[in-house]
């Protein structure tokens, strides 16, 4: 069982309100997954008081879907999550194109919550901008 004392509880993202009018909070695995997605969605420099926070995943948005690009994405995901999410140990990462959408890559991240023996995975969508050709 994953302990909220280790992971913590915090406001849900995006911000939400409960039925009784209070700010919605989350904890456990859902909190970790939101935190990891936030790291991957934030570009360094977006946060004035934490200018190095985030990942350079957006640098790949105009790249063609090649094995070399997939390897670069895997490396960036591993680097940024290792740096900014200390509550997990990042395992295998796989990048592959979505079967039905040519401009969508799926980033499958295997991870282990530190202190637990519960392997989990998060699939993070990554949209690319297609080459318009000549």
Task: Give the tens place of pLDDT for each residue, 85-103.
Answer: 999 999 999 999 998 988 8
CATH number at residue 42: 3.10.450.40
Q: Which residues contact 73 (CB under 8 A, 6 or more apart)?
A: 57, 60, 95, 105, 107, 126
- The pTM of the full predicted model, rounded to 2 decimals, is 0.83
Judge whether 133 lies within some domain. no
Q: Is residue 108 part of a domain?
A: yes
132 occurs within a structural domain? no
What is the per-residue pLDDT for 48?
93
In a domain, 111, yes or no: yes
Check pLDDT > 60 for residue 108: yes
How confident is the model over 70-88, as pLDDT tens digits?
999 999 999 999 999 999 9
Residue 46 belongs to a domain: yes
Domains in the chain, number: 1
Confidence of residue 116 (pLDDT cuts 50, 70, 90): confident
- Residue ranges of E strands in 2-132: 9-11, 25-27, 88-97, 104-113, 119-127
The answer to whether residue 24 sits within a structural domain is yes
Q: Could you tell me the two tokens for 7?
A: 């992971």
Residues 6+ apart with CB under 8 A from 88: 32, 36, 81, 111, 112, 113, 114
With respect to residue 28, please indicate whether it lies within any of the assigned structural domains: yes
Host domain of residue 10? 4-127
Provide mean pLDDT across the span 128-133. Answer: 73
Share of the chain above pLDDT 90, in %: 65
Which of 11-15, 51-55, 63-67 shows the lowest per-residue confidence on average (mean pLDDT)? 11-15
User: CA angle 14-19-20, nearest 5°?
Assistant: 115
61 belongs to a structural domain: yes
Indicate the average pLDDT of the chain: 89
CA distance 68 to 95: 11
Q: How confident is the model at residue 133 (pLDDT cuts 50, 70, 90)?
A: low
């Amino acid at each position: 069982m994953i302990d909220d004392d280790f992971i913590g509880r915090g406001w849900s993202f995006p911000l939400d309100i409960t039925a009784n009018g209070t700010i919605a909070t989350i904890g456990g695995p859902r909190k970790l997954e939101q935190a990891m997605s936030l790291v991957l969605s934030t570009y360094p420099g977006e946060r004035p008081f934490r200018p190095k926070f985030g990942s350079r995943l957006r640098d790949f948005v105009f790249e063609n879907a090649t094995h070399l690009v997939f390897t670069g994405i895997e490396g960036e995901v591993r680097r940024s999550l290792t740096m900014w999410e200390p509550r997990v140990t990042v395992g295998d990462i796989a990048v592959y194109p979505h079967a039905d959408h040519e401009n969508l890559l799926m980033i499958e991240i295997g991870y282990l919550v530190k202190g637990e023996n519960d392997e989990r995975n998060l699939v993070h969508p990554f949209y690319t901008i297609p080459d318009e050709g000549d």
